[in-house]
Structure 1
Amino acid sequence: MLPKAFYLLMLPAGLVAIVKPEVYTVLLALALPQQATVATTPVPAAAPPPAVATPFGPRRLIADRDGHFRARARAGGRSFDAMVDTGATIVVLTWQTGLDLNLVRPGETMDAAMQTANGRVLGKRVTIPRLEVEGLSVSSVPAVVLPQGALAINLLGMSYLSRLRRFEFSQNALVLEQ
């Protein structure tokens, strides 16, 4: 598990990425000029493009026409769509997905202050017991469920991605490996 200091340092970067993705993209390009970056403004889409996967080994997600990487995720026996957001410190779920996964219940106290493109909002800190994305499974994934209407699509953030062996951008694809 990552140290608490990592989350405290990455939270501002994640918030900037959500609120002002164009600023985050410029800052990330300055910090990591050799890596391609992707703007991470949440945009609803019909369905994620299929991942190119082998039974074992790396998974390749192909960018959609907007340049976003979308994936099919599974937790608690239920599937849902998510957009990969390397600028998000943590996995962020919509209220409906949180309900579907039995991670939240109506009337629960929201305990996590978040800054989103729609402004400041309180979310509910949760832990996803096992999160599988394109066949790559990670256990005990920290996440936040946002209230209804605060988020259009689930975001697959660093609390999942950092637990993979590697993830990297390669041409028009995102390679994930466990």
Structure 2
Amino acid sequence: MLRKLLILGVLAGTSTSIPIVYQSNPQILDNLLKSAVGARPTAEPQTELDLVAVRDRPATPQPLGRKVVVTADARGHFTSAFKLNGRQVDGMIDTGATLVAINSSTARRIGISLNASDFRHTVNTANGAIKAAVVTIDRLQIGKITVDGVQAVVLDDKALRTNLIGLSFLQRLQKYQVENGALLLVQ
């Protein structure tokens, strides 16, 4: 019952946040919609946005040309090392997250400077409603896969301990799919 309420809360919060984000920057949603129409993912997106920290050691991605395979950890999560704006960052691939989500510390490490006034968007998460800043990551890499201009949200360190790689990155790939306990990314 609690899980259903949590999922309902996340969906309700997300749907109420969309008009706010659209009013502040209409290009964000336009770009997301264009990328969603252009990419047909083969994996079923999850309905829950999980912003809980994952402390397992990230798996090393196995590059296969412009393909990367990330094996699931003991909890079934796909964690890996990424490069955001050229800096190595650990993160979890979350097909249920609409955008890439990073914490404030990571944003500073990758060269994104934010003021308190930038955190003007309200985002409902598993941890409740929090303020977020919408940013663009210049370059996101995993293995030999590189995507430029990835939309993301920045959350407070207390609200997000593990960086999440969501659909704003995944939908820009040729495909992503789960098979035999591994996530295949193809560009």
TM range (shorter): 0.7 to 0.9
Distance 1:108 1:99, change over 3 A: farther
Distance 1:88 1:76, change over 3 A: same
Q: In 1, distance between residues paired with 2:47 and 2:63?
A: 32
Q: Which of 22, 40, 48 lines up with 1:17 in the alignment? A: 48
Q: In 2, distance between residues paired with 1:144 and 1:15?
A: 19
Q: What amino acid is the match of 2:53?
A: V
Q: Larger RCO: Structure 1 or Structure 2 (Cα < 8 Å, ≥ 6 residues apart)?
A: 2
Which residue matches 1:92?
101
- The alignment's C-alpha RMSD in Å is 2.5
Q: What amino acid is the match of 1:145?
A: V
Taking structure 2 as the reference length, the TM-score comes to 0.72
Q: Does residue 65 of structure 2 align to residue 65 of structure 1? A: no
Task: Provide runs of 4+ in structure 1 moved above 6 Å.
Answer: none
Count of residue pairs brought into register by the alignment: 151
Distance 1:177 1:5, change over 3 A: closer
Unaligned runs of 5+ in 1: 19-39
Is the CA contact 1:112–1:144 (under 8 Å) kept in the aligned structure 2?
no
Unaligned runs of 5+ in 2: 1-27, 37-44
Taking structure 1 as the reference length, the TM-score comes to 0.76
Q: In 2, distance between residues paired with 1:173 and 1:156?
A: 16
Q: Please give the secondary structure, in 2, of the residue aligned with 1:121.
A: strand
Residue 6 of structure 1: how far off its partner (Å): 3.6
Q: Does residue 91 of structure 2 align to residue 82 of structure 1? A: yes
Q: In 2, distance between residues paired with 1:72 and 1:5?
A: 24
Is the CA contact 2:66–2:145 (under 8 Å) kept in the aligned structure 1?
no
Alignment of 1:65-144 (within 5 A): 65-144=74-153
State the Cα deviation string for residues 111-141 of structure 1 (Å, max 9, x = none). Answer: 2221111100011100001111222100110
Q: In 2, distance between residues paired with 1:62 and 1:4?
A: 30
Identify the structure with the greater helix proportion: 2
